[in-house]
Structure 1
């Protein structure tokens, strides 16, 4: 346990030490202890030094021990405590530190119970550690005493080490699924409120369930991926948000087309809805799916599996959006009397029309130049925050964060583990040079438990050429300043030294003695080498097949003088040093490796593959957008918008303290797919507009799609906000990401992209490829021209009678144009 005061004052006071002893007795009771000895703390050791109980110590006792620790700190922090305890002269000079056996107590107080900054660079104990003798019934003990925030009087339990951290995490993960469920329910009720149909809400829920189940079937059975990381459960929240977004777009288009012509047949109504809504839904689903699939470039299995599963889930959502929701809409339309609809709120309808068909487009068009400059500058700041300063940092802790850092069980690993001397020691890096085995992983890359099989080089280890190479390589290793070999020798060196020894004086009998290595028969080498080197402790050893003298591999294990660090730069320096040495002294038939490079390899993969995945997903999103519209200018404006939105999103998360870990890498890759959705909806609506002026096109795209886009953003934003109270850090991060990305992407799509379209958008098929233009002209041209005036009249039904004429200055001819007669 790690305790600190609530007001960050010194624990090394009489009052606080007594409180610490009381808290130890309460939160580390003997009934849960694995031994009969009570837990120890700084207060109990001071009481021992003064031969009192903890409740009896006074200010004088604390003052005496403080002075004693201050006098003895030079010996401890100088690293001379052990040597001084064995040296009589040193002991006599520091008699106050070693008399009456007090050295044991003082050493433990420095080493275990006070933080490593006490007396080293400050004179107060900020953190005090309590150490017990093990816990029985860990889960019961945690649930009874330590679940939640623990404060006793003026002490706060800041950190806690228990080896059941994973069990606690799994328990919280199950409990916090409630937040995802609440978010899903909130989205469903929001859907029912917006569409005004409980039947649509139920259909949407079934649509999401079907999508998740079908995605799991395809992922597990068809694709054949057996590994299902817990991160895949996060896809459920994403699926709920995306599914609701698509439902908003579809039923908004359905209602709009029906309002245009009340007497329209169901066939025409469905046809027009699919024409206007499904193009946007399809392109946004494809861009989001490609953003997920782009995660496959990662070498990290959890990221690969998450990307594949979520990509499949998004495509399944699109499938049911095409095959399930439209028939539901037709059935509900034909059975209006049986449809349980919510009451129509005319005031809300008028507010909706006033905001999304009048106020919002008018404001964006009028101040479009300001919005372009302002949000472009914000995007530049986001770029600086992401890539320059403070920029997205690599993780500095090997422990994958499972719970919030403020939670004491997680705080130990993330914050307090290195604040005490007993946890300060970093191990030396151990490197292994291996010959005879190819560095090939032929196991299933999607299954972490599949290690594959060894692939051998089939080297001739008994050949003269390879024996000479091993001898020279071993000698080169021993000469390196970073190698800590302790005077040992390689088995090759030992063999050639002993094979030349006199048979009368040597350890081995003929023919394994008295040999000239230059003229030694190969059969002698094959017979004597295993016999002489199998049982020794050497720097390098041959690896044999079972019950055989056939050498399959040879390895040299070296303990380096360099210590392990979580710093990417520190481990990169060590790796580059070894890599240079290997290229100068090794050969192509071997390689070097170390388990100490696992975290460095993770950092390296995240630093390169995250941005590769983001670039791939951005390129694929660009391609999908272009194929959908076949307009170069619309595509460029959309890509500019998404780039700025991504920079602002990632920059905001960097300022919030995010580091580039596994989940963060997935979120950044996903940012492309989610950020472009709203821009695509507006872009497709702009492209489908039959108006000729870019101002009118922008206004019509607002009228047709902005309310659905805003509700889609609100639903996903709401889902993210409702997940934020989760104790599972991955859930919290996903909630924070969804919250930020929805705010940023909606703002940039609504204000920045629409301003760009109103200012630079294509007119008269400008930069339009003829493929789309021809199809566009020949598709329902008569229907569109007949219904345009009807649409305008219908859209004004929620407003008071009378004409609101809004004039804008067109940049091309500087004339005042009337956008709409009745809006």
Structure 2
């Protein structure tokens, strides 16, 4: 069998697993390229959405358009490119002369400020205004101390003609230029006041859009733009006024809303350094700007943009790796502390590493994924936590089997442990794996890759935990645990060091004993008591938490959608200067707001000729695919020309159209082409003019249109500066390949999801209706815009909850397929859903923004919430008792300690990750802490409380297959009133069957104490008022260490037992348990009487040994042997039926009324109850109403090997019949005592009155 293979060949199993892990690791590392984490933020954008496909195709069109590329703006690209180069040189010369004219007068600045320069944001330390002398000079001084004093600054700065570093573009330097000061430290309060007055006079024109860069400079330049005549000359004489308002002061300073303020408040001021952004600034940042002392008494640096965000993120990713490593170390230290074995801890660590490497091999080689995102590395921590939980449970079951059946061999111990553990692993890992795989439906690349890798890792780990872990346990028991050598007491007293070591050993042993007793008290007494007694409170409390979490998560306030595109996604904590610049300050200045903020207008780009098909690798963000050409595209036909001309008029008539005077739109290129044709007079000398002139009327012929449109582009190419994109795209052969029409709308770019959604839906609906009327060649048109942020917001807002709901639904299906119990599956999924909802609700209260990383964590929440609940679910399902309260107590005692330890380990790991600078590490730590603690609470209290009320009893809620007739019912150990029975009173059902089969005789079922224990839980509490008879639980009947006392005081019985052992062999020896004594008798025996009765019962219950060969030789042993066998039959309801049953169910010391099932005996596994005798009645009336006669027959059991081959449902429902206690006849009168009938001492069956 499998257990024998593990027990006899553990090294072979370990070697086989090791070879497989090494081969897969080498194959995964050597085949293809290694993972590249140089761009860790890549992959956090939606890929396979309608908007995403169009954005990718549009980026491809832009990247493939240009000189010597797939598309060009002119059919004569080579000639035009040479002309454009000449024009570009001329423009650069004119720009250089203009800059020299503006800035060369005083030679102070090195040109205008640009976005490519490094930027620092200053804020007042006292939260006041920066427009005062002290604050302005403070900014200059901080720049001198932190930037210009660095040794590498002179190597990085832009230089003047005098080879000196250019001055910074700061508020103080501009004021110094206006009033001829040598530096910003020389300015006066009067200079500041005059500058404020000048700004106050020019600010209205700037905010109206009249004061533009084109108005600055000489009079001739101003005359070219009519709007510049309205601007006062003092505002355009120097560029300082425009630059101050546009670049250096925040948008609210002297805005139309605040210009009337007598003393306007300047909240933020920007300083441009004369150094380019990029990796070259890393040294200055790490040396002078990384510290937190960037302030003085007046101002402080609160934000900066040095172009280092990606580079610094990579730096901190490597630097902060110590926190995840310490977190993983904390998990494995918890395993070592719990198991007190470094060997097992190392073997579990190898399990995690092997599972991850084999999963990487499958991910890369088998599934052919080429992109391995950085977030996949979080699988190390997640899988370590899963392995820790399963390891705790395995060794709890292993040690329990060892302590309760010490004489059993390793094969039997492995079999007993794996019978439960394998079932638990299958249910847990399949459910977790399915929950992780459900995230595959996400459109975000990184989440899909993580779903595949994490789900595969869980399933691979299932195989290793089923093979590697039990083999390691066997190896530990066989070689490691037995290597200790006994030393006499005198050995430890020879030297002082040995005495100290011995004292230290005693201290550790005392501490261990204290912790063990405390753990036993907490998890075996207090926790079951608290769950059962306060189950009403737990259900209401956790249900309220789940409802509150659902309201917060789904209704109000919900998770905030991202306000930054994936390229600027938050990677550090929000207080970091880089993050503050991106999230707070970058939109406070007009140049950023107009270029990338909410000040820019939303363009619309309509494309024909290229289909919106993304044929790249959807799991690799670097693969953009190729362009798919629309073979039906044409604009040469007369119908297409007319439709494009009318389309231009329709666009102009739309309310969302905006006429941009500075940037011409291409949507009306057909109208401009018609004007060009009409403006050309026909010539008799030039044939080309005869072809493209006003003698042709619109619409033109196909050949004329194509030839003349090329002529028009050629002429505009000669004009140089006035050339602009008409929207036509030509291929390498000069053929018209695509059409791109663009125009501006009245909508402004917005971070608000609702506004962006309204814009997209309105434009999309309008264009869809217009395309329906287009001719054949133009029916495949589509549009796009600046929708990157909206695409991310839309994907996250719609799919996050869908993924979460699908994961929960799949978890329910998998649990149902593994347990085949509807009620347990529903309760488990309810607890899992409650865990996820409360976790997400808390994340909302922590003001988490729903970026891609947060969406990944939420998608994985269901998978991380499964294991604790499944622990209890499977333990409840495999409990040998039939009533729900005993099952709850059983599962809590068996699983709560391991569950609490796993939750504690994960909590400590999460705490360790909190100091990390990288936001992903910190949020992972917070998420792990929350999800595991909440999951532990919902599993231990909410799930168990639900089982206290509605948990399945016996086979209630179980899906039975047609072969279920082989299953035997649980022993009916519920109370006589059947208050907790499921599906009616079983005794009445059996009585009705007997009456139908034999109507001549009235038969009644008797309930011997050895098989039927009265319910003391419900009859002794206020929950059941159906019986007034008191229940008596003899607390003194618990045997020491849950075993029968040795029979030294009974020599005859001991000798008989020893003789039997010698004749049958010692390898089948097992221990028998004393039955727990519970009775509904109204009389409570004294302690001495109970002790005498306990001794008598234990004296009668002795273990018998039988060799399997004896059963094979004779399938019908003698009656005396059968009599001895049936008294020690074990309950086969679980692989742990014989393990501490009486101790686990006797909880009357903390709540009276909890039922006691009979103690299961430890007998050979080959003993099974025969189906033919499963319905045998233990007694009946023989037709005489005036006399009560009992027929106590011996029950013959089928002991053939075939009887032992039962499925998991069959053995779960069997109970043994062993005990020779008195027969109890429940009295029909509730206030009268029961009838106790003492068994005859004779071994023969008969009638006893």
TM-score w.r.t. structure 1 length? 0.90
**Change in CA separation of 1:14 and 1:278 when aligned onto 2, cut-off 3 Å:** farther
- Once the two structures are superposed, residues 507-543 of structure 1 have per-residue CA deviations (whole angstroms, 9 ceiling, x without a partner) of 9434444665589665545555544456656775443
User: Which stretch shifts more, 449-458 or 337-346?
Assistant: 337-346
Runs (5+) with no aligned partner, structure 2: 1-119, 160-164, 486-504, 717-722, 773-777, 971-1128, 1160-1249
Is contact 1:492–1:540 with CA below 8 Å preserved after alignment? no
The residue aligned with 1:146 is 289
Listed as ranges, the matches of 1:248-287 within 5 Å are 248-287=392-431
**Change in CA separation of 1:275 and 1:148 when aligned onto 2, cut-off 3 Å:** farther
The residue aligned with 1:582 is 767
The residue aligned with 2:1013 is none
Shift of residue 62, structure 1, vs aligned partner:
4.9
Structure 2 distance, partners of 1:804, 1:489, is 82
Matching residue within 714, 717, 731 for 2:904: 714
1:15 aligned onto 2:134: yes
**Change in CA separation of 1:228 and 1:789 when aligned onto 2, cut-off 3 Å:** closer
Is contact 1:226–1:447 with CA below 8 Å preserved after alignment? yes
Structure 2 distance, partners of 1:820, 1:359, is 23
1:471 aligned onto 2:645: yes
Matching residue within 411, 415, 418 for 2:580: 411
Matching residue within 590, 613, 619 for 1:421: 590
1:386 aligned onto 2:553: yes
User: Which stretch shifts more, 184-193 or 639-648?
Assistant: 639-648
**Change in CA separation of 1:276 and 1:778 when aligned onto 2, cut-off 3 Å:** farther
1:437 aligned onto 2:623: no
1:33 aligned onto 2:178: no
Matching residue within 523, 532, 536 for 1:369: 536
- Once the two structures are superposed, residues 208-253 of structure 1 have per-residue CA deviations (whole angstroms, 9 ceiling, x without a partner) of 1112211111111111111112112222221222222221222222
In terms of Rg, which structure is larger? 2
Is contact 1:404–1:728 with CA below 8 Å preserved after alignment? yes
The residue aligned with 1:3 is 122
Shift of residue 591, structure 1, vs aligned partner:
3.0
3-state SS in 1 of match to 2:924: helix
3-state SS in 1 of match to 2:611: coil
- Once the two structures are superposed, residues 601-624 of structure 1 have per-residue CA deviations (whole angstroms, 9 ceiling, x without a partner) of 111111112122112211111111
Matching residue within 246, 269, 272 for 1:128: 269
**Change in CA separation of 1:767 and 1:793 when aligned onto 2, cut-off 3 Å:** closer
Listed as ranges, the matches of 1:77-92 within 5 Å are 77=207, 79=209, 81-82=211-212
Matching residue within 720, 729, 734 for 2:924: 734
Shift of residue 105, structure 1, vs aligned partner:
3.7
Structure 2 distance, partners of 1:337, 1:504, is 108
Is contact 2:885–2:1154 with CA below 8 Å preserved after alignment? no
**Change in CA separation of 1:21 and 1:450 when aligned onto 2, cut-off 3 Å:** same
Matching residue within 750, 755, 769 for 1:570: 755
Structure 1 distance, partners of 2:588, 2:908, is 39
**Change in CA separation of 1:75 and 1:442 when aligned onto 2, cut-off 3 Å:** closer
3-state SS in 1 of match to 2:305: coil
The residue aligned with 2:826 is 636
3-state SS in 1 of match to 2:463: helix
Listed as ranges, the matches of 1:515-664 within 5 Å are 516=696, 522-525=702-705, 527-532=707-712, 541-549=727-735, 551-587=736-772, 589-664=779-854
The residue aligned with 1:115 is 250
Shift of residue 671, structure 1, vs aligned partner:
1.0
Shift of residue 205, structure 1, vs aligned partner:
1.3
The residue aligned with 1:98 is 234
Is contact 1:808–1:818 with CA below 8 Å preserved after alignment? no
Structure 1 distance, partners of 2:483, 2:303, is 56
Matching residue within 489, 495, 519 for 1:352: 519
Is contact 2:553–2:559 with CA below 8 Å preserved after alignment? yes
Structure 1 distance, partners of 2:831, 2:422, is 22
3-state SS in 2 of match to 1:805: coil
3-state SS in 2 of match to 1:543: strand
The residue aligned with 2:1011 is none
Structure 2 distance, partners of 1:459, 1:94, is 53
Structure 1 distance, partners of 2:640, 2:875, is 71
3-state SS in 2 of match to 1:743: helix
**Change in CA separation of 1:116 and 1:672 when aligned onto 2, cut-off 3 Å:** same
Is contact 1:371–1:755 with CA below 8 Å preserved after alignment? yes
3-state SS in 2 of match to 1:152: coil
- Once the two structures are superposed, residues 644-679 of structure 1 have per-residue CA deviations (whole angstroms, 9 ceiling, x without a partner) of 211110010011111221111111111111122211
Shift of residue 706, structure 1, vs aligned partner:
0.7
Structure 2 distance, partners of 1:128, 1:541, is 41
The residue aligned with 1:331 is 475
The residue aligned with 1:812 is none
The residue aligned with 1:302 is 446
**Change in CA separation of 1:295 and 1:194 when aligned onto 2, cut-off 3 Å:** same
**Change in CA separation of 1:125 and 1:523 when aligned onto 2, cut-off 3 Å:** closer
3-state SS in 1 of match to 2:275: coil
**Change in CA separation of 1:301 and 1:151 when aligned onto 2, cut-off 3 Å:** same
**Change in CA separation of 1:538 and 1:78 when aligned onto 2, cut-off 3 Å:** closer
The residue aligned with 1:800 is none
Shift of residue 453, structure 1, vs aligned partner:
2.2
3-state SS in 2 of match to 1:590: coil
Structure 2 distance, partners of 1:145, 1:17, is 21
User: Which stretch shifts more, 269-278 or 461-470?
Assistant: 461-470
Structure 1 distance, partners of 2:523, 2:592, is 60
The residue aligned with 2:9 is none
Structure 1 distance, partners of 2:442, 2:941, is 34
3-state SS in 2 of match to 1:565: coil
Is contact 2:890–2:1144 with CA below 8 Å preserved after alignment? no
Runs (5+) with no aligned partner, structure 1: 797-802, 810-814
3-state SS in 2 of match to 1:335: helix
**Change in CA separation of 1:773 and 1:674 when aligned onto 2, cut-off 3 Å:** farther
Is contact 1:431–1:592 with CA below 8 Å preserved after alignment? no
1:452 aligned onto 2:596: no
Shift of residue 474, structure 1, vs aligned partner:
3.5
**Change in CA separation of 1:100 and 1:522 when aligned onto 2, cut-off 3 Å:** closer
Q: Which has the higher helix share?
A: 1
Higher RCO, Cα 8 Å, sep 6+: 1
Matching residue within 360, 374, 377 for 1:233: 377
**Change in CA separation of 1:680 and 1:68 when aligned onto 2, cut-off 3 Å:** same
Shift of residue 179, structure 1, vs aligned partner:
0.5
Structure 2 distance, partners of 1:520, 1:162, is 55
3-state SS in 1 of match to 2:1140: helix
TM-score w.r.t. structure 2 length? 0.60
- The Cα RMSD (Å) is 3.5
- Once the two structures are superposed, residues 87-129 of structure 1 have per-residue CA deviations (whole angstroms, 9 ceiling, x without a partner) of 99x999998x93996x644443333333223344483333222
